[in-house]
């Protein structure tokens, strides 16, 4: 499947999981030890808010700090729905995946950015599900594709300030378990 298909799949999984959050769960812990459920969703909403700008050619300096802090307001689910809809539209624009985007480490192909966002959506859908006690949301085929395409990027990003060290899992572990373990999570 193409990047855009996998992005849609990961976004759908995250969306489905966000809609399972009960009002009393927003302050619940997640496997991202410094983030509550609300913090995690805030992170993903902010990422989605950035996407239209970056895909439109804006630099980090041009976007500035407008998405720092709380971007959820009083309705986190609505903030997710609106930001994800805008991000998805930006990804579906003609030529979006073949553009150059300005990222924190320099200019990059938008497809690399797309795979990073897709991986983040999938892994954080898992984090969110674990935080609220929902079923593991990552589909096997998506996890296999992310391991193949994004696995080397994840391995290269494993520094203490970006990702936790990988967790060892048996070779018989499911693809979703291998993916989250690669990203420093203990599969459950």
In sign, the C-alpha dihedral spanning 149, 155, 158, 164 is: positive
Contact predicate 3/103, CB 8 Å: no
Kindly report the number of other CB atoms within 10 A of residue 40's CB atom.
22
Closest CA to 112 of 132, 124, 96: 96
The DSSP symbol for 22 reads -
Contact at 8 Å (CB) between 137 and 16? yes
In the predicted structure, residue 179 carries a pLDDT above the cut 90:
yes
Structural element, H or E, at residue 103? strand 100-103
* 158 pLDDT higher than 70: no
Q: What is the pLDDT of residues 1-19, one digit of tens each?
A: 699 999 999 999 999 999 9
User: pLDDT at position 155, please?
Assistant: 75
Quick check: 83 and 41 in contact, CB under 8 A? no
**Residue 159 pLDDT greater than 70, yes or no:** no
Say if CB 7 and CB 121 are below 8 A apart. Answer: yes
Per-residue pLDDT tens over the stretch 25-83? 999 999 988 999 999 999 999 999 999 999 999 999 999 999 999 999 999 999 999 99
- Phi and psi angles of residue 27, each rounded to the nearest 5 degrees, phi first: -100, 5
| Lowest mean per-residue pLDDT among 4-13, 84-93, 101-110, 115-124 | 101-110
Second-level CATH architecture of 3-134: Up-down Bundle (1.20)
**Mean pLDDT, the chain, as a whole number?**
93
Q: Is the pLDDT of residue 160 over 80?
A: no
The pTM for the full model equals 0.93
**pLDDT of 164 over the 80 cut:** no
**Separation between Cα atoms, residue 122 and residue 81, nearest integer Å:** 16
Residue 154 has pLDDT above 90, yes or no: no
Confidence of residue 162 (pLDDT cuts 50, 70, 90): low
């Amino acid at each position: 499947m193409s990047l855009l298909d996998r992005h849609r799949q990961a976004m759908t999984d995250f969306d489905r999981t966000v809609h399972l959050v009960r009002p009393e769960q927003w302050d619940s812990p997640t496997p991202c030890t410094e983030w509550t459920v609300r913090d995690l969703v805030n992170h993903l909403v902010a990422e989605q808010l950035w996407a239209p700008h970056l895909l439109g050619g804006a630099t980090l300096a041009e976007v500035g700090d407008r998405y720092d802090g709380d971007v959820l307001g009083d309705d986190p689910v609505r903030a997710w729905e609106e930001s994800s809809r805008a991000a998805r539209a930006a990804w579906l624009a003609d030529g979006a995946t073949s553009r150059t985007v300005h990222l924190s480490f320099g200019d990059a192909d938008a497809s690399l950015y797309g795979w990073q966002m897709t991986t983040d959506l999938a892994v954080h859908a898992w984090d969110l599900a674990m935080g609220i006690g929902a079923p593991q949301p990552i589909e096997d085929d998506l996890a296999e594709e992310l391991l193949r395409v994004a696995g080397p990027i994840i391995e290269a990003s494993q520094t203490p300030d970006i990702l936790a060290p990988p967790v060892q899992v048996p070779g018989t572990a499911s693809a979703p378990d291998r993916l989250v373990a690669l990203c420093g999570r203990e599969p459950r």
